[in-house]
Structure 1
Amino acid sequence: MFTTIPLLLWLIAPVNAHISIFTPAMWGYNVSFDTFPYDNRPVAPLADYTFEQWWFHGHLGYPPNPGDFFDLPAGKPATAELACNKGATSYCSSADGDLCFGKDNYPCPGSPISQFHTNGLEDLKGCALAITYESDVNKVQPENFTVFSVNHTCVWYEQTDFQVPARMPPCPEGGCICAWFWIHSEDSGGEQNYMNGFRCNITGSVSNVALAPAQVPRRCGADPQRGVMEATPGNCTYGAKQPFYWFQKERNNMFEGTYSPPFYLDLYNFKNGSQDDIFVDSYTSIPPPSPTQTEVPTPINHPVPQPSQTKRAKRKSVERTARESGVLGTVFKSLFSIRATYSRDVF
C-alpha cells in the first residue's frame, strides 16, 4: 500500500500539469487526452492559437448536458473547484485517474506547486469569473464577457471562493454563460492563457439593474519589479471590464510583451472579491483614462434592495398595470385588497 500510492502519483503527475475549473456545467467536461489530435484537455494551456482553438478552449462541440448550471448566489460566495485533474475534485472520476485525494484542498495531489505555475503564495496572480447575459453560446463574442469576481489567491486552493456582487440581475430564460480566466506568473512557465466556459445562473437576485458595457482593462498599478514604484489611478479602467485575451494568433485585447503578462490584480484595477462597480448606474461619469488623467471617478453606493422590498415593488407594478386595463383593473384591485388583508405578513 505504501509503495503503490507513490508509484500511482508518480505515473499520473506528468499529465497533471496546468489547471482548470471543473463543473458538469462546463464545455469540455469529459474531454480527455485522446479526444483531440493534440492535448486539449480543460487543463491544457492556450497560447498562440487561432480563435477557434482558444475560444471556449475549442470545446464548443462538447457542451454540458441540458439543465446543468453553476449557481451564483447574489451577494454570497460561489465555491469553484480548481484542479490539475478532474480526479482531484469532488467529481472524482477522470480519464487521467480516479484520485479523490483533494481532501487537503490542494489542487494538484501528488504534484509540486510548479505544476500550477507558481513559486509560492507571494507569486500568485489571481484569476477571474466573467459573465454574459446571453443563453445562446453561438452568439457570444469576447467583448460580451464582464468580469464580476476575482480571487487574488487563485490558484492555490482546490476549493476557491468567488464573491458574487449583491446587485447581479437575474439571468434570461435559458440561463447565462460564464467563463473562468487565469494567466500565471511570468517566472513560472511560458506565455499561457486559461479559459473554460460554463453555463451559470444567478440565484437570489434582488436587482434588475443591467451591467454596463465592458471595457478593456488598463495597466495602472504600481509595478516595482519593472521600476514602476507608484500607481497611476487616472490610467485605470473603472467599471465593467473585459477579461484578458492575450498571446493568441487572433482576437487579442491585450498586447503586453512576453515577460509583462496581464494579471487579475490591482495592477489592472481588479480588486479582490466581487466587482461591485460593473453596473450601468455605478458611476455618474467616468473620465477618459490616460497616464496624465488626474480625475478619478468615485462609484455610487447603491443600497441593495431587500427581498421584501422587491416583492412589494412587483405587487405595485402589477396593481398599476391592472388599473390601466379598465374593467379588469377593478377585479384585480379587489383581489389584491382581499389578499393584502389576509397576507400582510407576506407583503
Structure 2
Amino acid sequence: MSSKIAIFGALLACHAAVTSAHLMISNPAVWGGRSDELENPLQPGNENWFCHGQSRESAKGQVEVKAGGSVTFPVLCAAASNNPGDAANICGNDPNSWHNGGGCALSIAYKKDGVKPDDFVMFSSNHDCPTRNFGSIDFKVPANLPACDDCVCSWTWIPQTAADEMYMNCFNCKVLSDTNGTVTSGTYLKDHYFAVPGYESKGGARPLYKNVLPNGELKIQVATPPASANFQSNTTTTVATVKPSSTSAAVATGQATFTPAPTPEIKSAGLVSFSPVAWGLLPVVAISSLLFF
C-alpha cells in the first residue's frame, strides 16, 4: 500500500511540475524584473492586481518604442527569462502552457506616477501570441503614437484554451516619435480585460484579442498642439533695390512693389524732365489752368 501511495504522490508531483508554468515577457524594464510570479495570471482583489503589485522602481532601464516601427519581446516561461534563446527546451516540460495562443497586446499610459488600469490605451496587438516554441513576438507600432520620455506600458494576454484568466506585465517605456500631442481616442485596455471584476469585457464571453482586435498597430487619435505664430514685433521689411529701366512693367519684390521715378532717359524721348518737386506741383498747376481758362 505504501508503495502505491508513493507512486501516486510522485505522479501528483510530476503533474504539478508540468502544469505550474505560465508565461510572461522577458526584459529588464519589466516591473518586478524576472520574478517567477510575473508568469501568473491576474488575481483581482489581492496584491497581484494590477501589474502584479510591482513598482516601477523594481525595473531597470526603459524599452524604446519607435513610432512607425516595431518592438519585440520574448514570451516565455519564467524559468527561461534569463535565457530566452533556449526557451523552447526550458519551457518544453509544459507544452500546454501557451494555451494555444489567444492573442497579446501592448498598451501605454502617458504618465509615470499614479498609474491606474484605466489609464492604458492599446496601440498594438498580435494574434499569434504566444507561440508553441515560446519565441519572440513582434508588435507593430502606429506611426502617430505620441512621443514620451518616461511612460508606463503593459503587455497583456488572454489565452485561448484555459480557465477564465488573463496575464499582464507592466514595463517602463520611452516613445521615440515626431508626433507630439495627447491621445484623444482609441482602444482602451479597460474595455478588454477578462475575468476581472469591475470591468466589462467586450466581444462576448471570452474576448480573445485575435477575435476582437485588428492584427498589428491599433488606430489612435491624437490632438496635436497648434503651431505657435512665428511673428516678431521688430521685423524689418527689406525692399529690393530697383535700377532704372526702360521697361514699363512694375517690379514686384514679394513684399512691396516699387516703381522708379522718371529719369533723364525720358527726356531723350522728347519729353520734359521734371524734378521730384515739379512732379508734385503738376496737379496744382493743371487745376489752376482749368479755373482761369
Structure 2-normalised TM-score? 0.65
Q: Which residue of 1 aligns with 2:72?
A: 79
Using the TM superposition, give the Cα deviation of residue 53 of structure 1 relative to its aligned residue in structure 2, in angstroms.
Answer: 2.7
Structure 1, unmatched stretches of 5+, are 1-9, 33-40, 93-98, 119-123, 214-238, 282-315, 331-347
Using the TM superposition, give the Cα deviation of residue 263 of structure 1 relative to its aligned residue in structure 2, in angstroms.
Answer: 1.3
Q: Which residue of 2 aligns with 1:294?
A: none
Matches of 2:66 and 2:181, distance apart in 1? 16
Correspondence 1:273 to 2:216: yes
Per-residue Cα deviation, 1:278-312 (whole angstroms, up to 9, x for no partner): 1146xxxxxxxxxxxxxxxxxxxxxxxxxxxxxxx
Matches of 2:33 and 2:144, distance apart in 1? 30
Matches of 1:58 and 1:199, distance apart in 2? 15
Distance 1:192 1:62, change over 3 A: farther
SS at match of 2:139: strand
Matches of 1:256 and 1:149, distance apart in 2? 18
Using the TM superposition, give the Cα deviation of residue 58 of structure 1 relative to its aligned residue in structure 2, in angstroms.
Answer: 1.8
8 Å contact kept, 1:84–1:107? no
Q: Which residue of 2 aligns with 1:240?
A: 187
Q: Which residue of 1 aligns with 2:206?
A: 261
Per-residue Cα deviation, 1:196-253 (whole angstroms, up to 9, x for no partner): 10000112x111242124xxxxxxxxxxxxxxxxxxxxxxxxx4332522323x4323
- Among candidates 76, 80, 83, match of residue 88 of structure 1: 80
8 Å contact kept, 1:167–1:209? no
SS at match of 2:182: coil
Using the TM superposition, give the Cα deviation of residue 111 of structure 1 relative to its aligned residue in structure 2, in angstroms.
Answer: 2.7
8 Å contact kept, 1:108–1:115? no
Matches of 1:209 and 1:61, distance apart in 2? 24
Q: Which residue of 1 aligns with 2:129?
A: 154
* One-letter amino acid of the counterpart of residue 75, structure 2: L
- Among candidates 178, 182, 186, match of residue 210 of structure 1: 182
Matches of 1:182 and 1:202, distance apart in 2? 22
Using the TM superposition, give the Cα deviation of residue 18 of structure 1 relative to its aligned residue in structure 2, in angstroms.
Answer: 1.1
- Among candidates 142, 156, 159, match of residue 117 of structure 2: 142
Q: Which residue of 1 aligns with 2:53?
A: 58
SS at match of 1:116: coil
Matches of 1:78 and 1:22, distance apart in 2? 13
Structure 1-normalised TM-score? 0.55
SS at match of 2:64: strand
Using the TM superposition, give the Cα deviation of residue 24 of structure 1 relative to its aligned residue in structure 2, in angstroms.
Answer: 0.6
Q: Which residue of 2 aligns with 1:292?
A: none
Matches of 2:59 and 2:187, distance apart in 1? 27
SS at match of 2:230: helix
Matches of 1:116 and 1:320, distance apart in 2? 56
Using the TM superposition, give the Cα deviation of residue 16 of structure 1 relative to its aligned residue in structure 2, in angstroms.
Answer: 5.7
* One-letter amino acid of the counterpart of residue 193, structure 2: Y
SS at match of 1:114: coil
Distance 1:255 1:73, change over 3 A: closer
Using the TM superposition, give the Cα deviation of residue 46 of structure 1 relative to its aligned residue in structure 2, in angstroms.
Answer: 1.8
1:310-321 to 2 correspondences below 5 Å: 320=230
- Among candidates 148, 165, 168, match of residue 192 of structure 1: 165
Distance 1:100 1:280, change over 3 A: closer
Using the TM superposition, give the Cα deviation of residue 125 of structure 1 relative to its aligned residue in structure 2, in angstroms.
Answer: 1.8
RMSD: 3.2
Matches of 2:187 and 2:85, distance apart in 1? 38
Matches of 1:161 and 1:100, distance apart in 2? 15
Using the TM superposition, give the Cα deviation of residue 77 of structure 1 relative to its aligned residue in structure 2, in angstroms.
Answer: 1.2
Distance 1:80 1:144, change over 3 A: same
8 Å contact kept, 2:144–2:222? no
Correspondence 1:27 to 2:19: no
Identity rate, percent: 30
Correspondence 1:176 to 2:169: no
Using the TM superposition, give the Cα deviation of residue 30 of structure 1 relative to its aligned residue in structure 2, in angstroms.
Answer: 4.0
SS at match of 2:209: coil
Per-residue Cα deviation, 1:92-144 (whole angstroms, up to 9, x for no partner): 3xxxxxx8523xxx4963234312212xxxxx3211000011021xx212111
Structure 2, unmatched stretches of 5+, are 1-13, 237-293
Q: What is the count of residue pairs matched by the alignment?
A: 218
Matches of 2:215 and 2:199, distance apart in 1? 24
Q: Which residue of 1 aligns with 2:91?
A: 109
